Structure 1
Amino acid sequence: MFLLFFAVWVILNGKVTAEICIFGVLISAALFYFMCRYMEYSLKKELLLFRLVPLFIRYFGVLVKEIVKANVCVLKIILSPELQPEPAFVYFDTAFQTGLAKVLLANSITLTPGTITVSVEDDRFCVHCLDKELAEGMEDSVFVKLLEEMEEVEARWTR
């Protein structure tokens, strides 16, 4: 974070001189100290974020793949008059410890065509699916497994 503050300082100043760099280091250090002291920021949290970056990238790749698969499925339903969709509500429980994992899963489900997260109460999700085919295996989906893996990494790192 210190380096980010310093980089923003240099970019906003538009030129690099010894005085600007020294003043930038002092301002960046003061901001970093303030964040650590009063905003519960820690270097450990920042390092955890770097550990989670590969998992977030993998999660984003899986999300794009699932969106494409769901688009094809919804397209089949729309373009085939003989296929009648069978809408369904799916209820399932998760063992997520953090609110971030719940929000990511709920938003990922909603971003995927043909499914909408209706509610999340505690660990119970209610999802409306356009067709039963889209509802299959939702509680054991790749999203859930990746989010559980992220939580495991976070739990190991914060002990």
Structure 2
Amino acid sequence: MRRSDGAAAAGAGLSEGDEATQAVLRTAPVLVLFWLVLSGHFEVLFLTLGAVSVLLVCLLSRRAGVAERDGVTLPLVLRLLRYLPWLGLEVLVSAFAVVRKVWSPRPALRPVVDSTPSSGLSVLSQVVYANSITFTPGTLSFDVDDDSIKVHSLDESGVEGLRAGAMLRQVRRLEPRR
């Protein structure tokens, strides 16, 4: 009698492809839930587009090898639930600051490009950090290296805020305990 692939993999250890597939399968439900929460649409067209986008992200992450290196785990999801409200508050504070600067009778906008350190972060954490910078109004991350992220800001205060390190500390808290 022949054993199923799952039983054979469990008995002989998982191959690299099986591990990558399992990492993607663990990540997919999290992406589906995240997409549903952010979209808030439950019509057939939107659900279909969401399913296609999640499938595409899963395939691309498997092909890039991100899923098996930095896959989504329950502890990471729990840490993200603590991080996202913090990021939401930062986005709101930055949005009000940008509106105040832009609508000022004499806007004193002096765009600046600088780097913020990101050394010691995993690939997934670097992506979260760079995207968090971009989500925050007034700043845009546009180049990610192994040890830094280049940032464009409407003025020096945006870069100074990143240099203070509050966002980097929050992103480091997402990393697994070593």
User: What TM-score does the superposition give when structure 1 sets the normalisation length?
Assistant: 0.65
RMSD (CA atoms): 3.1
Question: Deviation of residue 155 (structure 1)?
Answer: 4.3
| Aligned match for 1:94, one of 107, 118, 121 | 118
Q: How does 1:3-152 map to 2 (within 5 A)?
A: 33=10, 37-38=14-15, 39-40=18-19, 41=22, 49-151=73-175
Q: Secondary structure at the match of 1:136?
A: helix
Q: Output the CA distance in 2 between the equivalents of 1:55 and 1:140.
A: 22
Q: Output the CA distance in 1 between the equivalents of 2:87 and 2:158.
A: 15
Question: Deviation of residue 116 (structure 1)?
Answer: 0.5
Contact 2:112 2:155 in 1 (8 A): yes
Q: Structure 2: 5+ residue runs without aligned partners?
A: 27-68
Q: Secondary structure at the match of 2:120?
A: coil
Q: Output the CA distance in 1 between the equivalents of 2:171 and 2:159.
A: 19
After superposition, the C-alpha distances for 1:97-144 in whole angstroms (9 at most, x for unaligned) are 410011001111111111010211111111000111222130343321
Q: Output the CA distance in 2 between the equivalents of 1:73 and 1:67.
A: 10
Q: Output the CA distance in 1 between the equivalents of 2:142 and 2:159.
A: 14
After superposition, the C-alpha distances for 1:12-68 in whole angstroms (9 at most, x for unaligned) are xxxxxxxxxxxxxxx9x66x959x72322489x9xx822223310111111111110
Q: Output the CA distance in 1 between the equivalents of 2:84 and 2:143.
A: 23
Q: Output the CA distance in 2 between the equivalents of 1:73 and 1:33.
A: 54
Q: Output the CA distance in 2 between the equivalents of 1:106 and 1:155.
A: 21
Task: Tell me the equivalent position of 1:11.
Answer: none
Structure label with greater radius of gyration: 1
Q: Structure 1: 5+ residue runs without aligned partners?
A: 1-26
Q: Output the CA distance in 2 between the equivalents of 1:78 and 1:90.
A: 21
Q: Output the CA distance in 1 between the equivalents of 2:174 and 2:143.
A: 23
Contact 1:118 1:127 in 2 (8 A): yes
> Whose relative contact order is higher, 1 or 2, with alpha carbons under 8 Å and at least 6 apart?
1
The one-letter code matched in structure 2 to 1:100 is: L
Identity rate, percent: 28
Contact 1:92 1:139 in 2 (8 A): yes
User: What TM-score does the superposition give when structure 2 sets the normalisation length?
Assistant: 0.59
